[in-house]
Amino acid sequence: MVGVAIGLGNIWRFPYMVGKYGGSAFVLFYLIAVIVIGIPALMAEWTLGRLTQRGPLGAFEKGGFPKGKYVGGFFFFVIICGAAYYSNTLGWVAYFGISQIINALGGNINPGSILPPEAGFNTTSFFLQLLMTGLVILACGIVLIRGLRKGIERASKFIMPTLFFILIILIARSVTLPGSGEGLKWYIGKFRIKDLTGSVMGASLGQAIFSLSLGGTFMVIYGSYLKKSISIQKNAVFTGLGDLIAGLMAGFMIFPAVFAFNLEPASGPGLIFDTLPRTFSMMPAGWIFGTLFFLGLFGAAYLSDVAAFEVLVSGLRDNTTIKRTRAVWLIGMIVFLTAIPTMINMKIFLPWDLTFGSGMQILGTLLAVITTVWCIKKSEALKELAKNSHRPFHRFLFWWLRIVIPIVILFVGVNWLLESAFHIKILR
């Protein structure tokens, strides 16, 4: 579950969101959002999956949500589009990592050549993305064919400890650079109440939903795999804290180095693909740290990509007679073809990310929580939430799920829609 939750949202998106929204205030409210919103919502999504024994293509219908069959079908389409651009981005990460090694051996590869142009069409970028996205999907397919225990779980048990080990090495290097103290101070030691604006709070809540892989999709299908002997409450806390720690560690890795080399923390999505490579190039033996970083980022994002494919493969198998191996390759081909438009330029990629990453995840989380605590019989939901815990699921928490979390998620969704589509801010 930790492997599913930790991905590009923690190592790529969290640092650039911290940079964009000014540091300590964002970090503090993000920490609160994960604990009071993210973890309870995670419990709701797992409960929906385990009670219905289905992924989104079946869970909403079986859970009693009105027109749930069509809602599930819609989110099946959303996951295809999300997996497409996510696999493409994962290809960028892999290419940057390979470039670090080749350049260290005397080669001369520009890692940025794989990135789509801002507008127009670039042949080199397009064909590099075709190649790397195909290899990423192939790598996902190999693990998926082996199934949940022998494939996905085994890969997670290797990749996640490796990722945390790499982060620790890079944090140790970053915080010992001359001038890194300013970065630490800006990141966690410069909180001012006036910095906690509506935009910062809304962005923090959206990031909490994104980084935990909520959205009525990944966590619903993985919830259906949870044994009845496993406590949803305890494991949600462990998963939420693991996800939170990974994001915080990424910030400790990045911002001390960024300030040490007088680079710009608010450089947006390019913080990883533009600012960090320059940071590594200024370090002694920087190629080693650069390779470790992109290796760790690839590993984290890879497990989230596998989760997306598992939702699709499981949905196809649950509703057809297609065998697992054939379903894996069929889904892989569909996702590959769907990814092609995102390879053309950033004018296509960025709105695609905004729609199928941020917007649809917020909507999916809202509907999953509502299905669990409003559509499913209350006694059944409470029984599932409390199973194998030492005490009953607290009634206050159930009403928190019923009232507060839907209102908060709805606020985040409306705020996202108004800001992204109409450039209107509810709060400043």
- Locate the DSSP E strands across 126-222: none
Local confidence band at 284 (pLDDT 50, 70, 90 cut-offs): confident
CB 209 within 8 A of CB 413: no
CB 345 within 8 A of CB 116: yes
Q: Amino acid identity of 226?
A: L
17 pLDDT more than 80: yes
147 backbone φψ class: left, alpha, beta (φ>0; ψ -120 to 50): left
> What is the rounded distance in angstroms from the CA atom of residue 182 to the CA atom of residue 290?
22
**What pLDDT, in 10s, does the model give residues 260-273?**
888 888 877 778 88
DSSP 389-400: SSSPPPHHHHHI
Per-residue pLDDT at 156: 76
Local confidence band at 199 (pLDDT 50, 70, 90 cut-offs): confident
Of 6-15, 22-31, 120-129, give the range with the top mean pLDDT. 120-129
Provide CATH code, domain 2-422.
1.10.4160
Residue 299 tokens, joined: 């590993």
DSSP 254: H
Per-residue pLDDT at 125: 97
Axis crossing angle, helix 232-260 with helix 378-386, rounded to the nearest 10: 70
Least Cα distance to 114 among 126, 97, 102 occurs for 126
The full set of domain ranges for the chain reads 2-422
Q: How far is CA 327 from CA 62, 74, 88, 126, 149, in A?
A: 23, 19, 21, 27, 18
Higher pLDDT, 375 or 1: 375
Average pLDDT over residues 361-371: 94
> Among 140-144, 162-166, 185-189, 241-245, which is the least confidently predicted range?
162-166
pTM of the predicted model, to two decimals? Answer: 0.89
**What pLDDT, in 10s, does the model give residues 337-359?**
999 999 999 999 988 987 887 78
Residue with tokens 């939170």: 244
CB 63 within 8 A of CB 48: yes
> What is the rounded distance in angstroms from the CA atom of residue 193 to the CA atom of residue 301?
34
> What is the rounded distance in angstroms from the CA atom of residue 50 to the CA atom of residue 372?
11
**What pLDDT, in 10s, does the model give residues 47-90?**
999 999 999 989 999 999 999 999 999 999 999 999 999 999 99
Axis crossing angle, helix 68-104 with helix 123-145, rounded to the nearest 10: 110
